[in-house]
Structure 1
């Protein structure tokens, strides 16, 4: 029986989301005859973890749905065994990159990738704790439907399960490597207040993730499109397109991968939004087929983000995202130029090429990032209030943030190099120690 991993990383209370994703797992097992491993990677505090465990225990038992609810200690213990089996040269650093003391969007998904391999799963399907499913007449609209219809199939064979095909016929023999959609509801980045306060400042700030050499018009167009998902488009009926998926049209709260995640990990940068989007670009630039569907997930903000502390934390991640783009824009340019040459004869990613691009980017001059920080400082002070206060935070940590952005790309290179052996080790490593299995 085909095994898949439906995963929910979380560090906050999300009992309702756990119940909903359990329903999605049951849907997949019942409608598609697959074995679903529902993987909840829980970094919450002890009380919240206990509440989540109560929700998991109360979830109805469903044939071929197996739930794994792991706290950080259990995740760390598994990772230690994998890294040791892989024979890594810097085991302590790798463990820190995989399970850091702090927030990392890429690291939590990388853990899901390794655990999925240990469980024998051929695909990973990710959801987020601050989102929920749309419904029609009270029936949830699960993205897993389109993911299981197409993922892993030869593109030519997947064509019968979609509504539209825009894929060049020369890609017909390649596997469908990614299936995804976006979100409706609140923006994926909490910057709507900035948009309302000063439209020009908003465009100046959001366009900072574009390459420095882009024209003002190109940057403004990017800012216009960024972080908005599918807007307010409510689901009415299915539409799925077999294509090479544009990264701007999918979100990591609504994504599934086949094969590619076993070759290349996500960047493990801490406190940096967007650090988990690398594979979206790799799949696109390598001309791997995907399916874009319209079962959008509803995004919403938790109360924590509305607090003063939450504001500072999120704006820090936002600023660090801009600094990371100096390096990733370089890598994306190289990947775009390489195109289908990024794949071998078996349609798998040539990892050494990706590693070379990442390593080369680490040597870039930081002048462009200095200019980004200057723009942020000027823009946030113009907005005033808590934005001006945050500008003081940026100023105080300016050099550290510049250094961390470069170190993050070096860490990514290290993890790419170690990823193959770690993935191989995971396939030979039990998720649980024998005492837990027998208990």
Structure 2
């Protein structure tokens, strides 16, 4: 029997989502020969954490589902143990990259990776707190159905169990490392208001996440499909494609990895949306097989984003995402050029080669990001209101934010370097102690 980790990182109230996550875990053990570790990494306020702890305690789950709910103090203690085994002189920097004081989509998922490995899990299945499951004929449509059918199998052995396959024979001989789908509902990036106010400003801003050398036609095509997921189509029946999964067709709220997450972490950049998608590009360009299915998650927005503070925080993360692309696009291009040479002889990812690519991509002409900031500022001033106010806030950050984008890539390369030792340390340390036994159900 294999152990798998169904995980949810959160920093906000999500009692309903936790209940639904418990239902997905129960579905998994009811349909597959697995043990599920339901792992909740909780960075929310104390009162909210207490509500989450109580909600998890009320779940009526089968014996092979084990619940783990760790606050940041417990996560930090675990990370210190894992880092101690690395003998790195940069322990405090690495601890900050793994558990920063500011929100980081990559860092919270990296902690889930390490804790899943400490729990002895072979795969990690990630969900988000602001999502729900689709239903069909009165039953919830759980993505873990496809994930557990495919992860870890030789792709060629699955061809008769999927609807389509477009892998080459060489690719099909490799192990499935990724299974994912997208979402339905509102766009994944909450900027629809910009499109409603001024479609031209929306194009100007969204097109900034294209590569610097993209043509206008390529930019328009990117804008047309960006952040829309699978649209609003209702689930009517399963479809699974065995393929090199296109990163544009999946979302990190609906993803599962096997092995690759033990080789390479995600970028730990703070206050930057999209910082957790690097592995999707790595798996795709390396030619590792995956399954793209259609059990899409239902996305929704929380009310916090509509507040003034929420708006400011979200726009900051969006603009920093645009700046990160000055470094990520060269990295993705290098991954594409390297192709299957990203893999070692045993078919696993060559982390040293990936780190070298990331390190080179940290060095770019800062003029590209200065131009991005100027263009965002111009578009937001045309929008007026709080967008214009945000544009004024960009001026003092004109030098610091591009420098932070470069520093983020340098930090990422360092984290990739230390990752094998950190994984080994996590496995030796095991999961956090005080609450782990109390919260196993």
Distance in 2 between residues matched to 1:127 and 1:115, nearest whole Å: 15
Alignment match, 2:218: 218
SS for the counterpart of 1:101 is: coil
Query: 1:193-214 deviations in whole A, cap 9, x for unaligned?
Result: 1111111111110011111111
1:367 equivalent to 2:367? Answer yes
**Residue 396 (structure 1) shift:** 2.2
Alignment match, 1:287: 287
Alignment match, 2:326: 326
Distance in 2 between residues matched to 1:60 and 1:338, nearest whole Å: 48
Give the 5 Å matches for 1:287-326: 287-326=287-326
Distance in 1 between residues matched to 2:21 and 2:385, nearest whole Å: 39
SS for the counterpart of 2:429 is: coil
Alignment match, 1:98: 98
SS for the counterpart of 1:55 is: helix
Alignment match, 2:48: 48
Alignment match, 1:118: 118
Query: 1:216-244 deviations in whole A, cap 9, x for unaligned?
Result: 11111111111000011110100000000
1:139 equivalent to 2:139? Answer yes
Unpaired runs of 5+ residues, structure 1, are: none
TM-score where L is the length of structure 2: 0.98
User: Given that residues 68 and 436 in structure 2 are in contact (C-alpha distance below 8 angstroms), is that contact kept between their aligned partners in structure 1?
Assistant: no
SS for the counterpart of 1:424 is: helix
**Residue 33 (structure 1) shift:** 1.6
Distance in 2 between residues matched to 1:200 and 1:222, nearest whole Å: 14
**Residue 435 (structure 1) shift:** 8.9
**Residue 390 (structure 1) shift:** 0.6
Alignment match, 2:343: 343
**Residue 436 (structure 1) shift:** 6.2
Distance in 2 between residues matched to 1:437 and 1:315, nearest whole Å: 40
Alignment match, 2:354: 354
Query: 1:32-84 deviations in whole A, cap 9, x for unaligned?
Result: 02000000000000000000011001000312100000100000000000000
Alignment match, 1:274: 274
SS for the counterpart of 1:24 is: helix
**Residue 278 (structure 1) shift:** 0.3
Alignment match, 1:198: 198
Distance in 2 between residues matched to 1:135 and 1:282, nearest whole Å: 32
Alignment match, 1:24: 24
User: Given that residues 39 and 68 in structure 2 are in contact (C-alpha distance below 8 angstroms), is that contact kept between their aligned partners in structure 1?
Assistant: yes
SS for the counterpart of 2:4 is: strand
Alignment match, 1:129: 129
**Residue 128 (structure 1) shift:** 0.1
Alignment match, 1:82: 82
Bigger drift between 198-207 and 3-12 goes to 198-207
* Distance of aligned partners of 1:47 and 1:438 in 2 relative to their CA distance in 1, 3 Å threshold: closer
User: Given that residues 189 and 227 in structure 1 are in contact (C-alpha distance below 8 angstroms), is that contact kept between their aligned partners in structure 2?
Assistant: yes
Unpaired runs of 5+ residues, structure 2, are: none
User: Given that residues 150 and 161 in structure 1 are in contact (C-alpha distance below 8 angstroms), is that contact kept between their aligned partners in structure 2?
Assistant: no
Distance in 2 between residues matched to 1:235 and 1:296, nearest whole Å: 8
SS for the counterpart of 2:102 is: coil
**Residue 426 (structure 1) shift:** 1.2
SS for the counterpart of 2:349 is: coil
**Residue 438 (structure 1) shift:** 8.6
User: Given that residues 22 and 61 in structure 2 are in contact (C-alpha distance below 8 angstroms), is that contact kept between their aligned partners in structure 1?
Assistant: no
Runs of 4+ in structure 1 over 3 Å off: 433-439
Query: 1:382-404 deviations in whole A, cap 9, x for unaligned?
Result: 11111101101111222221121
Bigger drift between 91-100 and 427-436 goes to 427-436
**Residue 245 (structure 1) shift:** 0.5
1:433 equivalent to 2:440? Answer no
Query: 1:97-143 deviations in whole A, cap 9, x for unaligned?
Result: 00000100000000000001111100000000000000113211000
* Distance of aligned partners of 1:273 and 1:149 in 2 relative to their CA distance in 1, 3 Å threshold: same
User: Given that residues 70 and 435 in structure 2 are in contact (C-alpha distance below 8 angstroms), is that contact kept between their aligned partners in structure 1?
Assistant: no
User: Given that residues 182 and 297 in structure 1 are in contact (C-alpha distance below 8 angstroms), is that contact kept between their aligned partners in structure 2?
Assistant: yes
Alignment match, 2:156: 156
* Distance of aligned partners of 1:437 and 1:140 in 2 relative to their CA distance in 1, 3 Å threshold: closer
Alignment match, 2:61: 61
SS for the counterpart of 1:56 is: helix
User: Given that residues 26 and 61 in structure 2 are in contact (C-alpha distance below 8 angstroms), is that contact kept between their aligned partners in structure 1?
Assistant: no
* Distance of aligned partners of 1:164 and 1:76 in 2 relative to their CA distance in 1, 3 Å threshold: same
**Residue 160 (structure 1) shift:** 2.4
Alignment match, 1:232: 232
Q: How many residues align?
A: 439
User: Given that residues 69 and 436 in structure 2 are in contact (C-alpha distance below 8 angstroms), is that contact kept between their aligned partners in structure 1?
Assistant: no
1:398 equivalent to 2:398? Answer yes
Distance in 1 between residues matched to 2:134 and 2:433, nearest whole Å: 38
Higher RCO, 1 vs 2 (CA within 8 Å, ≥6 residues apart): 2
**Residue 262 (structure 1) shift:** 0.6
Alignment match, 1:37: 37
Q: In angstroms, what is the RMSD of aligned CA positions?
A: 1.2
